[in-house]
Chains A and B, each alone.
Chain A
Amino acid sequence: MNTISETRQKSLLYLENVSVSFDGFKALNSLSFVVEPGELRAIIGPNGAGKTTMMDIITGKTRPDTGTVLFEDAIDLTKKDEADIAQLGIGRKFQKPTVFESHTVWDNLELALNRSRGVFATLFYTLSPEDKARIEEILETIRMTHRKNEYAANLSHGQKQWLEIGMLLAQEPKLLLVDEPVAGMTDAETAETAVLLKEIAKTRSVVVVEHDMGFIRELGVKVTCLAEGSVLAEGSIDFVSNDPKVIENYLGR
């Protein structure tokens, strides 16, 4: 039984020997990294380690110089652009929260909803009862029902982060890439975000980049530490945080 499940197990995201350099500076240096379906993974590492760059590569914003990037073991992501990759089911939260400030919370979610995104489909779109229910459900999940008619510009920093996570949920991705979700949040908000992400990870894979070690501990999942563009250590939080290389490169600083 074990062998069957092992052979049937496919990786959701597979990076092998990915390198990219900007003006001679190697931001990623033969990075290899695998995410299983349904996995919640945390990524840590010093500033400039290449965490955001890795997300740029996965989501088609940056092309790698060399290396393999596969989604669901078959789809070569290096040949696709941002819109294709989003439609394949990879959602991304930016390091700096990015929501549509001049739209309401509701409209932000409506735009993100995983529906036909063509010009004419959107011109003639009308909100169906299912879509309405789905948006209300997401509002509950991100705890923002009471602010649904508020302009996103008027939200607090933490609420914007949540709204962006809600938008990713509306996208119904198979893989969620979340770049520093708790930056600038209060401790209470941070704890709630951990709960939220764990809940989200029940139905899809999530990769979280974060500096906040308390938050990572709360997530309680496998941790990958990046430094200088490649993997320094991988394992449980205790294993990684006791690794001498990690202490020297990251935690000790």
Chain B
Amino acid sequence: MISGFVFRALEGRIVAAVGILLGIGILVPALNLLTPPDSALHIPTYAMSLFGKYLCYALLALALDLVWGYCGILSLGHGAFFALGGYAMGMYLMRQIGPRGVYGNPILPDFMVFLNYKELPWFWHGFDWFVFAMAMVIVVPGLLAFIFGWFAFRSRVNGVYLSIITQAMTYALLLAFFRNDMGFGGNNGLTDFKDILGFSVQADGTRAVLFFMSALMLSLCLILASAIVRSKFGKVLVGVRDAESRVRFLGFRVENIKLFTFVVSAMMAGIAGALFVPQVGIINPGEFAPANSIEVVVWTAVGGRGTLIGPIIGAILVNGGKSFFTGAFPEIWLFALGGLFIAVTLFLPKGIVGTIQHGFKARKALKAAADAEKGRGDAAAVAQAQAAE
């Protein structure tokens, strides 16, 4: 049963993608660690961490594709789950600083000392323990998605209305996390991390492991997502996207189907956020910004929604472009992004991967038609006669 579930996931394209991801996950750290800095093959640590960040974004886009591409839920708040996962990791990293902070308080992070906190808020307890913090990375986004989805899907909020309340959700969290009295460091967020599991977050070796972990988690989530969409459940999911009432009248509980998918997706986004934070070295409320969530939609659309691999490619390409543009021509980046989205919507509605797939299918159909024609000469003659008319 379980083996069938996993086995179905390992279809050709997915195996290839996982192979490439894991190859990159090993090769890039190896080139960083094993080659001398002046070698032509050397990958500098900053570049490795930059690409590691793209892999985290790719995982976020994959998470969005599961709900948007397959279930038709256009979430404009997935950045919130990403940020929550990031904050859970950030809280662990803050607790690891210990007495090495500016104020030297062994328990309280610097910002709490600065804000005159007398003791650690209750929700900070346990975050010094790695396993607990990693559990929170998936539990907190999962729980928020569950509560949100429970109400939204039960009351059948759909389409634009759902998108709007997901935006409102991330915006509300943005405002909340900006407040100093929330206990999450206000607008400065959490930063100045020292080490993770006893290893310095700045060290090349740690960065290399974080990079590999990003590639590994992305691969595992890709396999999980593929297993989900290729199961009967996945077919129901597409049914919900295309003809929700048909699914309901067949006796399925659409609200449970959506809820499960939304929660799984939020957890993936949380993992992405947790891997992102130690590689960029900071998490602040800006990650909750509504615009961030909208950008995720753009990556997914560019790569091709409902293809799983497309959003990964889209996230890496668009963010690569962003890094280039913001370095070379910072003032036109936003226009480039907006233009890209419009161009994709108009000319590549299926995204890059969707269009390529479509092309393959069309070619196959053409070939099949041509073969059929060869097989039956008179049919070809009829077709020709028809074409001549």
Contact = CB atoms under 8 A, between A and B. Distances in A.
B239 A100 contact: yes
B245 interface: yes
Contact of A124 (B2, B236, B245, B251): B2
B68 to A, nearest CB: 15
Nearest to A177: B249
Contact of A86 (B4, B238, B251, B260): B251
B243 interface: yes
Interface string B52-93: 000000000000000000000000000000000000000000
Nearest to B256: A119
A83 B252 contact: yes
B257 A111 contact: no
Interface in B241-268: 242-243, 245-254, 256-257, 260
Nearest to B8: A126
Contacts of B202: none
A167 B238 contact: no
A172 B256 CA distance: 23
Nearest to A103: B235
A196 interface: no
B251 A107 contact: no
A111 B236 contact: yes
Given A123-B233, A124-B4, A126-B4, A86 B250 contact: yes
Contacts of A99: 243, 246
B228 A123 contact: yes
A67 to B, nearest CB: 21
B231 interface: yes
Interface in A82-109: 82-83, 86-87, 91-92, 94, 98-103, 107
A82 to B, nearest CB: 4
A87 B251 contact: yes
Nearest to A167: B250
B227 to A, nearest CB: 8
Contacts of A107: 235
B250 A112 contact: yes
A92 B4 CA distance: 32
